Amino acid sequence: MPGLMLNNLLMMLETRSTLTRSSLSASGSTPGDYPVCVQQLRLFRGRASFVLASLVASPAPTNHEDVDMLGCLNSAVSGRANNITLFAPTDAAIGRLSSSQLAALTSDMAALKETLSYHALLKDVVGLHRRGINRLQDKVIMSSNNLPIRINIYKLVHSISAEGVNITERAIRVSNGYVHALDGIMKPPQGDVVSVVQQLGEFNSLVSLLSTAGLVDAINADMNITVFAPNDAAFQQLDPSIKTYLTNNLDDLKEVLLYHIVERMTLYSIGMRHTITFHTADKRHDNLMVIEDFASGNIMVNDAKIVAKDISATNGVIHVIDKVLIPLGVLLKMESQGLTIG
């Protein structure tokens, strides 16, 4: 990992705390007022230290705004919660960041504050440390800066995730709440499925066809949806005769599009393992199968490769695929008219 390691960061935090002790006292705050203090973070060494690692590239504090970061979200939760939940990426997760990613995360203090705030809740998420974990499946909870965090339970692969990021250790108790260790950094969704696809700019064909088939409202109405979204390059691979057939046969077009959707279940890549199948939203509820290429690390659904995964939306998740999938019923109709795929 570039920059200072955990022990050095602890020393740096303690130095910052010493340098600003008088200003903290003057403001009426003490280190104990902070949600997770340096002494508690010592307990997580090697496990959950996002707050420490996020300060790797930060300059020495020059004003009181920087001091707020010592308390990891003090400015976000000040006086509003005595029992918080903190989702904290581990040292290993931070270590996987490139120098440029780390610099981008830490160079803008306002953005860093937003990121940290997104990893904290102003309340206890009881199911994460008591009985009732199953009740959290596809439950959306709100962060301290009022952005959604989706919890998923993937029993088959023995994983629990927050916004698609694996929770590697749950319920690390601190004096005023719980810390849950993450294997990555969560990114908040930027809108619902359709608006996110529109923002990405490489799905003009998909957006147009969804509108033509009258599926936009139905997709946005499903609050736990998974969409395998073919990009424009995938649609360009289709023979023009196939495109013409679909635009002239709206029922079949609708079936093709619904074959890319899993209803009422948010399936992040952490829940996808080799040969797992799941029903799609077309009339026959045809299956899609996950194929893992263990040599390359690629994940396929049927014969389409997932080229970008785990793009969160407020009502589900999007995975970008490089091929348009055709359900068997529509494929047989096309073949009966002399059309071929590929």
- Do 233 and 154 sit in the same domain of this protein? no
Amino acid at 172: I
| pLDDT score, position 14 | 38
Number of domains the chain is built from: 2
Domain containing residue 43: CATH number:
2.30.180.10
Contact between 8 and 15 under an 8 Å Cβ cutoff? The reply is no
Distance CA 119, CA 87 (A): 5
Distance CA 229, CA 320 (A): 5
| Domain membership flag for residue 341 | no
Alpha helices by DSSP H, 293-340: 328-336
SS3 305: strand
Domain that holds residue 258: 193-336
Give the helix, strand, coil percentages of the chain, each rounded to 5: 40, 20, 40
User: Among all chains, which residue has been given the structure tokens 């307990």?
Assistant: 43
- Do 266 and 330 sit in the same domain of this protein? yes
- Which pTM was predicted? 0.79
Burial (CB count <10 Å: 0-12, 13-18, 19+), residue 261: buried
- Do 18 and 147 sit in the same domain of this protein? yes
The per-residue b/e assignment along 105-128, b for 16 or more CB within 10 angstroms, e otherwise, is: bbeeeeebbebbbbbbbbebbebb
With a CB cutoff of 8 Å and minimum separation 6, the contacts of 200 are 311
| Domain membership flag for residue 127 | yes
| Domain membership flag for residue 187 | no
Task: Render each residue's pLDDT in the chain as its tens digit; 342 residues.
Answer: 333 333 333 333 333 333 233 333 333 333 333 333 333 444 444 443 334 333 332 333 333 333 233 344 444 444 555 678 889 888 788 888 888 888 887 788 778 778 888 998 888 888 887 766 778 889 999 998 899 999 999 988 889 999 999 999 888 887 778 889 999 999 999 999 999 999 999 999 999 999 999 999 999 999 999 999 999 999 999 999 999 999 999 999 999 999 999 999 999 999 999 999 999 999 999 999 999 999 998 999 999 999 999 999 999 999 999 999 999 999 999 999 999 886
Alpha helices by DSSP H, 96-184: 99-107, 109-118
| Domain membership flag for residue 91 | yes
Distance CA 285, CA 82 (A): 47
Contact between 9 and 49 under an 8 Å Cβ cutoff? The reply is yes
| Domain membership flag for residue 32 | yes
Tokens describing residue 305: 């490769």
- Do 154 and 290 sit in the same domain of this protein? no
| Domain membership flag for residue 342 | no
- Do 49 and 173 sit in the same domain of this protein? yes
| Distant-in-sequence contacts of 245-252, Cβ < 8 A, 24+ apart | 245/334, 245/337, 245/339, 246/209, 247/212, 249/333, 250/212, 250/213, 252/330, 252/333
Residue where a domain terminates, one of 115, 147, 182: 182
- Do 21 and 122 sit in the same domain of this protein? yes
- Do 240 and 173 sit in the same domain of this protein? no
- Do 237 and 297 sit in the same domain of this protein? yes
Question: For residue 164, is it left (φ>0), alpha (ψ between -120 and 50) or beta?
Answer: left
